[in-house]
Structure 1
Amino acid sequence: MKVETDKTRRTLPVSDSRAVRRHAGGLLARHRGYLALVLGLHVLAALAALASPWLVGRLVDVVSGHAGRVGTSGDVDRVVGLLVVAVLVQTVLTWAARRSAFILGETVFAELRETFIGRAIHLPLSTIERAGTGDLVARTTQDVEALSHVARFGLPAVIVGLVTVVLTVATALATSWLAALPIFLSLLLLVPTTRRYLKVAVPGYLWERASYAELSGVVAETVDGARTVDALRLGAARRRRFREVLQECNEAEKYTLRIRLWYFPLAELSYHLPLAATMLWAGWLAIGGHVTLGAATAVVLYVRQVADPLDDVISWLDEIQVGVSSLARIVGVGEVPPDRTATGALPVGTDIEVDDVRYAYRAGHDVLRGVSLDLRPGERLAVVGPSGAGKSTLGRLMAGIDGPRTGAITVGGVPLVDLELGRLRGEVALVTQEHHVFVGTLEENLRLARPGATHEELYAALAAVDAAGWAVALPAGLDTVVGSGGHPLSEPQAQQLALARLVLADPHTLVLDEATSLLDPRAARHLERSLAAVVAGRTVVAIAHRLHTAHDADRVAVVEDGLVSELGSHEELMEHGGAYADLWRSWTQDATAPATHP
């Protein structure tokens, strides 16, 4: 059985088994005190459980006379009384042990979840964009849920099972090692099959999880771009893509199903066969007088008692492999290397220079092919051009989201990728078509950009982007809960909120990538006029298809096929009569053309 393990490495990293063991060991070491309590309670519960078979065997010897004399009714009553006490003590200890194990599982899982979220929110944006959100969403939901299931239920069950099996086997051997010899048949069957299973299961489940992540990404992309798919008649292509990833999910699931189908029957045999063998062997020994009937009975009961906890361990072993693969994917998020190394250098000035920048999303396919620009402090530069020319890519690089393949983008003489993120966001900020309203009050959403802002500053930021009117009209004003489950904000309102956060962040350079695309033309133009007063004295790079932005800019850069083909003011480029003039005439004709109806 060979798994295409490279499928598990197509997106974010996946930790190897050594790193997973090290992480899990460190996690348990931090809770070793409580872990010792859990193990201690389970040992006591297992010891209490061992009393019942011994007492039953003792009762057999008392009744049959193998105890040296035929027992009286008082002897029987005493043994039965002890048996009742043993069952009650076992019940109480088992309850306490399981409760402590559940608490440990919840504690460990909570720490894992917090660590994962902390690592996820610090992932470089460049890494997330290259990997896609599908894989990260799958790790945040499916993998965290799978690990939660194992931590809450699997960990306690395995601890209970292993402790019970070890103590029960030891007690059976102590009762009569001769009668208990068939119990080792379990090891002969279980050890080699389990080793083989563990070798092939983890890669299989990693493949399965990776295919789930890809499926999630395809579904999310199709739903998010449903209008585009419909407009461009891409339904057939998206269905083909969906079938492809669904087929891979199917192949991965069939592989892991085959693993379970050959492993579990052998596992079942490994603890049922010793029971049958022990009954025959211990019975023959008792008939021959080699062991007492009570000892033979106790050993058979002990071997039978091993079956249930061993079955639990075997059953959870498969779930644990899912959990281990999920843990490997969760820990792997922390292995993403930083996309920048801060040098500690401080910018001298606010001028931004783009020097012969090249960038590629795929090796050998440059999106930008030697772009050079000098941004004058305080100017408004519009970047225009056809779709796919590299405008948004240039904006991302100028905002320091990612570094160029070759060349450099500097602010005050320091490369953007050499700045700490906190310092970078104080220099340059990017606002795109994408925005998010976090669950919380409107005030909390605004304070993300400047935690110490006063109420006056919050209202001023909203007013700057023409949002103060609707913000004041909310049911509780700035204290209104927005986001998922809260007061709904329209798309234009959500975009204005994002722009207000930008105003509060107060960087000296703003990169606006279609930042007003969701507003109607009149509202967008009004918003941009409001922003004009706010951005006075700052450098603004505006990337847009609406060319009125270019008309109002100090300079216009035309990007075509990864190159800046023209650079100058609106008037200069119109006089030149090149690509920009063609774009302007086409745009103005489309804007003034009467609407037609089929």
Structure 2
Amino acid sequence: MNHAATSTDREPLIAGRPRILRAAAELVRQDRTAFVAMVLLNALAVGAGLVGPWLLGRIIDEVRGGAGVGTVDRLAALILAASLAQLLLVRYARRVGYRFGERTLARVRERFVERILALPVPVVERVGTGDLAVRGTADIGAVGTAMRDAGPDVFIALIQVPLILGVVFLASPLLGVCGVVGFAGIAVAVRWYLRRAHPAYLAEGEANSALAEQLSGAAAGARTIEAFGLEQQQIAHCLERIDTCYRTRMRTLHLRSVLFPAVDVSYVIPVVGVLLVGGVLYEHDMVSLGALTASVLWLRQLSQPLDTLLQWLELLQRSEASFARVEGIGVLLDAQGQTAPTAPGAEPVDDRIELTRVRYSYDGAHDVVRDVDLTVRPGERLVLVGPSGAGKSTLSRLLAGIDVPDSGSVRVGGVSLSALPPELLRRQVVLVTQEQHVFIGTLRDNLSMAAPTATDAELAEALAAVGCDWAAQLPDGLDTELGDGGHHLDGAQAQQLSLARVLLAGPHTLILDEATALLDPRSARRTERTLAAVLDGRTVIAVAHRLHTAQDADRVAVMEDGRLTELGSHDELVAAGGAYAGLWNSWHGRSAGVSSS
């Protein structure tokens, strides 16, 4: 049963602007030497670029004053030197900027992965794999493009604009005022755009996540969709998501279609204004022809950094929205940290598991587990049985610490499972279900992640313990590549591989929820008996879908409608003639399995 909320049920996980700014400042601080070098090199490059128009104005004034060819040649050589210096400075500034961007992007990726891995499993289920995939790919990609590509260009432009306006004011304050007033149209257009762009790009990102979640859910449930003839319904849902993506995308396109034409017109106005006003000032000897020429060239030069800023404005808005979504995982993680109980330094004193008045619901209204009291003794083999929907799988998740009860407590060795850090919890209790994953890499990689120091002999022993006879037939043995592009394992083989990983991890309590469901009955029986021998001395809790498992157990716990109604050995419960006896007689008489919830 999938308890993850759909994308329409979730609150969008978005970080506020203050958090984004703090996160960006922290990224800059971590590589501040490169950042400072990038800023200085860009400032020097901009300064070198301003020398050319000033020298050209000097040439005009010198020639009008009767200077000879030697003066012109000398100033022209300085223009060439300034241009060469600008070229070299820009090259090295971009080199430093790109390296800074790549390192920063790597930190963003690493932090994102660390946060995802730190989230509790129920939270990941609630957020949705499609949403997380979009945040980890498209959103981080947008952030990376902004840092690697837009970052250097924007820094250069931000330095150029005030410097160019400053030298125009130095040449003639009146011409400087004229230029600034002429660019007022750009300020109005940009202000209009910025007020609307951020929410529009957030909406576009959320729509993309919803579409990805819908498609991933349809792909994962393809067999169910086909079995129940739900193809047209799923197509309708996908088309609805696509339509939302289309409308949000058209909204951002509309914003750009207004911004860019308004900016293009605004570029011409200050140059025309300076020429008209400058002509009047020149006639009254209030400005020299060289200063007027340099001012016009500088203002024309100003269009380049402004154009750069505006061209990157869309990406910056998109990347800000993407950064807000990436940092939204941090907001979620912080919220989990604030609500999760903590017990610094607490460690279980033994392997006893105790449930006290445990209640749990997925929607906050209907309890799936109701007032369960249960003690699992160290080394015991306990089997959970009951009709479908009785709450067995939910109880197994509570026992494994994956879900936290709404009320009551689940403790191991006197310590609440929710108070244990993940690395300690997984040494105590591990839940194995039929949903297993084969990681891209070798068979050795897939096994040694559970026991990094295990030898090849120990890996082979774990494979043999769970009946992985197929492992010996692999072309490269433990070095055989698995996953996409490698050797494909079927569902039963993937389950066996997962069980071998569990053996290598060595938890004291193992919870099996249909862990052998994909194996044929004979293989499942053999694997279960082998596991029983290998796990001798460890606690094993199994959700039974074949009641012969209950016959082998020390005790059987019967779940009905979320409650624990019977508890005892197989023989005791059969003799009692209650619910378990009915299940046993029904299963044994018709040889039909009892499905688990």
Q: Quick check: TM above 0.5?
A: yes
CA distance in 2 between counterparts of 1:36 and 1:370 reads 61
CA distance in 1 between counterparts of 2:77 and 2:344 reads 76
Please show how residues 52-67 of structure 1 align to structure 2 within 5 Å: 52-63=52-63, 65=64
- Deviation of the 1:147 alpha carbon: 0.7
CA distance in 1 between counterparts of 2:35 and 2:130 reads 36
Return closer, same or farther for 1:358/1:56 CA change in 2, 3 Å cut-off.
same
Return closer, same or farther for 1:55/1:495 CA change in 2, 3 Å cut-off.
same
Structure 2 match to 1:398: 399
Matched, 1:257 2:253: yes
Q: State which drifts further: 331-340 or 421-430.
A: 331-340
CA distance in 2 between counterparts of 1:12 and 1:401 reads 23
Structure 1 match to 2:153: 157
Counterpart code for 1:188: A
Q: State which drifts further: 440-449 or 577-586.
A: 577-586
CA distance in 1 between counterparts of 2:8 and 2:79 reads 54
Please show how residues 486-505 of structure 1 align to structure 2 within 5 Å: 486-505=486-505
Structure 2 match to 1:37: 37
- Deviation of the 1:592 alpha carbon: 7.2
Structure 1 match to 2:133: 137
CA distance in 2 between counterparts of 1:340 and 1:11 reads 23
Structure 2 match to 1:485: 485
Contiguous gaps of at least 5 residues in structure 2:
1-6
CA distance in 2 between counterparts of 1:288 and 1:184 reads 22
- Deviation of the 1:516 alpha carbon: 1.4
Q: Tell whether the 8 Å contact from 2:438 to 2:494 is kept in structure 1 after alignment.
A: yes
- Deviation of the 1:12 alpha carbon: 6.6
Q: Tell whether the 8 Å contact from 1:379 to 1:539 is kept in structure 2 after alignment.
A: yes
- Deviation of the 1:503 alpha carbon: 0.6
Structure 1 match to 2:521: 521
Structure 2 match to 1:455: 456
- Deviation of the 1:570 alpha carbon: 4.0
Please show how residues 164-313 of structure 1 align to structure 2 within 5 Å: 164-185=160-181, 188-313=184-309
Q: State which drifts further: 327-336 or 398-407.
A: 327-336
Counterpart code for 1:555: R
Q: State which drifts further: 307-316 or 484-493.
A: 484-493
- Deviation of the 1:45 alpha carbon: 1.1
Please show how residues 579-590 of structure 1 align to structure 2 within 5 Å: 579-581=579-581, 583-584=583-584, 587=587
- Deviation of the 1:399 alpha carbon: 0.5
Q: Tell whether the 8 Å contact from 2:154 to 2:312 is kept in structure 1 after alignment.
A: yes
**What are the superposed Cα offsets for residues 145-173 of structure 1, whole Å, 9 maximum, x if unpaired?**
11111111011110111112222111222
Structure 2 match to 1:548: 548
Return closer, same or farther for 1:197/1:533 CA change in 2, 3 Å cut-off.
same
Matched, 1:389 2:390: yes
Structure 1 match to 2:124: 128
Structure 2 match to 1:345: 346
- Deviation of the 1:578 alpha carbon: 5.1
CA distance in 1 between counterparts of 2:589 and 2:311 reads 70
CA distance in 1 between counterparts of 2:166 and 2:513 reads 70
CA distance in 1 between counterparts of 2:383 and 2:228 reads 28
Q: Secondary structure at the match of 1:334?
A: helix
Structure 2 match to 1:4: none
CA distance in 2 between counterparts of 1:342 and 1:566 reads 33
Q: Tell whether the 8 Å contact from 1:358 to 1:405 is kept in structure 2 after alignment.
A: yes
Q: Tell whether the 8 Å contact from 1:395 to 1:511 is kept in structure 2 after alignment.
A: yes
- Deviation of the 1:21 alpha carbon: 0.7
Return closer, same or farther for 1:573/1:504 CA change in 2, 3 Å cut-off.
same
Q: Tell whether the 8 Å contact from 1:357 to 1:368 is kept in structure 2 after alignment.
A: yes
Counterpart code for 1:222: A
Q: Secondary structure at the match of 1:400?
A: coil
CA distance in 2 between counterparts of 1:439 and 1:447 reads 13
Structure 1 match to 2:422: 421
**What are the superposed Cα offsets for residues 375-429 of structure 1, whole Å, 9 maximum, x if unpaired?**
2332322223344332221111100112100111122232211222222212111
Structure 2 match to 1:116: 112
Return closer, same or farther for 1:583/1:26 CA change in 2, 3 Å cut-off.
same
Q: State which drifts further: 511-520 or 482-491.
A: 482-491
CA distance in 1 between counterparts of 2:265 and 2:454 reads 68
Q: Secondary structure at the match of 2:173?
A: coil
Return closer, same or farther for 1:73/1:200 CA change in 2, 3 Å cut-off.
same
CA distance in 2 between counterparts of 1:186 and 1:340 reads 60
Q: Secondary structure at the match of 2:559?
A: strand
- Deviation of the 1:577 alpha carbon: 5.3
Structure 2 match to 1:16: 16
Counterpart code for 2:436: H
CA distance in 1 between counterparts of 2:551 and 2:577 reads 15
CA distance in 1 between counterparts of 2:8 and 2:559 reads 37
**What are the superposed Cα offsets for residues 317-343 of structure 1, whole Å, 9 maximum, x if unpaired?**
221121112212222222312334234
Q: State which drifts further: 411-420 or 320-329.
A: 411-420
Please show how residues 311-390 of structure 1 align to structure 2 within 5 Å: 311-335=307-331, 336=333, 337-338=336-337, 339-390=340-391
Q: Tell whether the 8 Å contact from 1:8 to 1:207 is kept in structure 2 after alignment.
A: no
Return closer, same or farther for 1:273/1:81 CA change in 2, 3 Å cut-off.
same
Counterpart code for 1:498: S
- Deviation of the 1:487 alpha carbon: 3.4
CA distance in 2 between counterparts of 1:461 and 1:454 reads 11
Q: Tell whether the 8 Å contact from 2:12 to 2:206 is kept in structure 1 after alignment.
A: no
Q: State which drifts further: 353-362 or 447-456.
A: 447-456
Structure 2 match to 1:596: none
Q: Secondary structure at the match of 1:180?
A: helix
- Deviation of the 1:507 alpha carbon: 1.5
- Deviation of the 1:574 alpha carbon: 4.5
Q: State which drifts further: 133-142 or 302-311.
A: 133-142
- Deviation of the 1:587 alpha carbon: 4.8
Return closer, same or farther for 1:370/1:443 CA change in 2, 3 Å cut-off.
same
Q: Secondary structure at the match of 1:401?
A: coil
Please show how residues 586-597 of structure 1 align to structure 2 within 5 Å: 587=587, 591=591
CA distance in 1 between counterparts of 2:417 and 2:193 reads 49
CA distance in 1 between counterparts of 2:286 and 2:369 reads 87
Q: State which drifts further: 531-540 or 53-62.
A: 53-62
1:88 to 73, 77, 84: 84
Q: Tell whether the 8 Å contact from 1:185 to 1:270 is kept in structure 2 after alignment.
A: no
Q: Tell whether the 8 Å contact from 1:272 to 1:307 is kept in structure 2 after alignment.
A: no
Return closer, same or farther for 1:347/1:94 CA change in 2, 3 Å cut-off.
closer
Q: State which drifts further: 294-303 or 115-124.
A: 115-124
Contiguous gaps of at least 5 residues in structure 1:
1-6, 594-598
Aligned residues: 582
CA distance in 1 between counterparts of 2:416 and 2:431 reads 17
Return closer, same or farther for 1:78/1:488 CA change in 2, 3 Å cut-off.
same
Counterpart code for 2:323: L
**What are the superposed Cα offsets for residues 411-460 of structure 1, whole Å, 9 maximum, x if unpaired?**
22322112222222121111122222223332232222222223332222
CA distance in 2 between counterparts of 1:372 and 1:258 reads 60
TM-score normalised per structure 2: 0.90
**What are the superposed Cα offsets for residues 106-142 of structure 1, whole Å, 9 maximum, x if unpaired?**
1211122222222221122221122222222121111
Counterpart code for 2:140: V
Counterpart code for 1:185: V
Counterpart code for 2:138: Q
Identity %: 46
CA distance in 1 between counterparts of 2:43 and 2:367 reads 64
CA distance in 2 between counterparts of 1:273 and 1:43 reads 27
- Deviation of the 1:533 alpha carbon: 0.6
Q: State which drifts further: 33-42 or 83-92.
A: 83-92
- Deviation of the 1:176 alpha carbon: 2.2
Matched, 1:509 2:525: no
Q: Secondary structure at the match of 2:175?
A: coil
